[in-house]
Structure 1
Amino acid sequence: MSDSSSGSSWLGRLSKVFSDEPESREDLVEGMRDAHHQGIIDGDALAMIQGVLEVSESRVRDIMIPRPQIELIDAEETLEEILDKMLESSHSRYPVILDTKIVGILLAKDVFRAVVKGELASKDDLKSIYREPNFVPESKRLNVLLRDFKESRNHMALVVDEYGELAGLVTIEDVIEQIVGEIEDEHDEEESANIQKRAGEIYSVSALTTLEEFNKFFQLDLDEELSETIGGFLAIQFGHVPMVDEEFAVNGIVIRVTKASERRVEMFEVRPAKAEQESEDDIVQQAV
């Protein structure tokens, strides 16, 4: 009896918030905020409702992992090199690339099952367990992508740009996190390192990395009085919230934005400026 009465009271209070029917998305959000202020729904519920609305508006490009941060398996590597890379990175899925083409997806569970059964003698044996890659355009809406994930039971998609080139990677977890917030798993403590080594001399750096840590790691002397974090420092240098692919060169390195929203920058790629110059020199020499 009390439960029913409580439920009626809750619905009554909520209906009062929406006594004037919302005519737009903004009206709906404002109504939900009013419901939160009146204690009808808690902060977590409000955040998830807003997340659902944002998912219906956002596109794959807004949340994808950029190509420089993808752990790719080179089909030309030896079996030992491939297994070492998988053990070190601890991901569950890996795109396999041959030259510049994605030829399949390797699931860690498939590989390790084959290892236990003694079915892998060389890298060529991996081809039999390649999964078909799933490609999606950058412009695809997240709510549509989530529905496709559910229907296909596929939890990862490779993102291609307007030219059909690999632009990034997106998983079902990335989409769900837009609704419920960050999902931590048993590998997150390791993955949460502010500065992570990628291919060659390229590093992935969190915008929340302190300038002190950044300076110490890259042996720089950026002014730590300007900002506490590298993200704040670069926002000052740019004069605005940095956007994806914007670059800043300083003291022999190039810092490129790889993940950002309208409100804040999240991740950077750091590479030696000399590597970029050497690449340009090679192109000039080949042309000559």
Structure 2
Amino acid sequence: MGDTDEGPSSAAQSAQQDETETSPGLFSRLVNVFTAPVTSEENHETPRENVNAAGAMLGMLNLRRMRVEDVSIPKPDIVAVPVTITKDELVEVFRTSGLTRLPVYDGTLDTPIGIANLKDFALRHGFNGNRQELDLREMVRPLIFVPPSMPLGVLLQKMQAERIHMALVIDEYGGTDGLVTIEDVIEQVVGEIEDEHDIEEAKSWVLEKPGCYLAQARTDLDDFEAEIGFNLTEAEEIDEEEIDTLGGLVTMLAGHLPARGEVIVHPAGPEFEVVDADPRRIKRLRVRLTPASNG
């Protein structure tokens, strides 16, 4: 989107044409890696190696069979900023969201103009009290516009070729329908990717302060109950036979798949805030215990 005069509609039309292009890229190289001929020596792999290879192949198949709409963040969950935002307000959005790239729009999200990158902002304005006025139009980087039907493999090639890690999903009327990042795509191949700001893989939860935990949604419910000394499945509306994890408990309480930022209150008082989620699952939760439940 280097030329901002080209609106989302025309960008979406060009994206439709990109679905038929097959220029070599990261996708092609990944396919070659996982479809290389097997020698007679390689036929003696251990069962674990066979399982790992099968998992890798299934991940590669996701790039062919899955579409952008299968992994994109829906429009209501997109964290974006207006081009008129002030410097202090932008810092606060970066801080509270934990994101390093934010879509920038002019008026509404249906008129996006680019991406605000935290690194660009830090390099230009610094952290030492620089009072230079912020003009996001001078700082935004281009976005990719893609249709929801685009295969993930094609999107990955496009992101690699244009060196852009974020795309807006455009509907048939040229409006914004969702957002997808290169991390969302690669996770369909290699599994969930956690960075240094995520909970360490070896830890299912961390105690942020007394009575407040940051926990992975896949945390075993029995283990967490032992940690807090409180039974979370005694309420009548909870069927403990149907759930094994904190994420399952919260989804059952909500009656739907909660979105990022949503807070679900347990009948006994504890609050579950969805810190991180995508359209398919909850990833992380903040659990706030009441005095009565804080054993």
Q: TM-score, normalised by structure 1?
A: 0.58
Matched, 1:259 2:279: yes
Cα 1:233/1:115, change in 2 over 3 Å: closer
- 1:243 Cα deviation from its structure 2 partner: 8.4
**2:116 aligned counterpart, secondary structure:** strand
The 2-side partners of 1:60 and 1:36 are apart by: 38
- Whether contact under 8 Å (2:258, 2:282) holds in the other structure is no
The 2-side partners of 1:243 and 1:116 are apart by: 39
Residue in 1 aligned with 2:101?
93
- Whether contact under 8 Å (1:120, 1:126) holds in the other structure is no
Equivalent in 24, 39, 47 of residue 11 of structure 1:
39
Residue in 1 aligned with 2:89?
81
- Whether contact under 8 Å (2:218, 2:245) holds in the other structure is yes
Amino acid at match of 2:72: M
Residue in 2 aligned with 1:121?
132
The 2-side partners of 1:187 and 1:59 are apart by: 28
Residue in 1 aligned with 2:199?
189
**1:111 aligned counterpart, secondary structure:** helix
- Whether contact under 8 Å (1:244, 1:259) holds in the other structure is no
- 1:109 Cα deviation from its structure 2 partner: 0.9
Deviates more, 1:152-161 or 1:38-47: 38-47
Matched, 1:152 2:162: yes
Amino acid at match of 2:113: V
Deviates more, 1:75-84 or 1:151-160: 75-84
Residue in 2 aligned with 1:111?
121
- Whether contact under 8 Å (2:251, 2:258) holds in the other structure is no
Equivalent in 236, 240, 259 of residue 225 of structure 1:
240
Residue in 1 aligned with 2:182?
172
Cα 1:160/1:94, change in 2 over 3 Å: same
Amino acid at match of 1:155: H
- 1:206 Cα deviation from its structure 2 partner: 8.1
Q: Between the two proteins, what is the percent identity of the paired residues?
A: 36
- 1:137 Cα deviation from its structure 2 partner: 0.9
Larger RCO: 1 or 2 (CA < 8 Å, sep 6+): 2
- 1:129 Cα deviation from its structure 2 partner: 0.9
Residue in 2 aligned with 1:21?
none
Equivalent in 67, 71, 75 of residue 67 of structure 1:
75
- 1:159 Cα deviation from its structure 2 partner: 1.3
Greater percentage in helix: 1
Residue in 2 aligned with 1:56?
64
- Whether contact under 8 Å (1:36, 1:46) holds in the other structure is no
Equivalent in 46, 51, 55 of residue 43 of structure 1:
51
The number of aligned residues is 222
| Structure 1 residues 226-245: aligned runs within 5 Å | 227-229=243-245, 232=248
Unaligned runs of 5+ residues in structure 1 are 1-9, 15-34, 195-204, 252-256, 261-265, 269-288
- Whether contact under 8 Å (1:55, 1:178) holds in the other structure is yes
Deviates more, 1:56-65 or 1:157-166: 157-166
1:51-77 CA-partner distances (Å, limit 9, x unpaired): 011211111111122223322113343
1:150-172 CA-partner distances (Å, limit 9, x unpaired): 11111111112233322221122
Cα 1:236/1:38, change in 2 over 3 Å: same
Residue in 2 aligned with 1:271?
none
Q: TM-score, normalised by structure 2?
A: 0.57
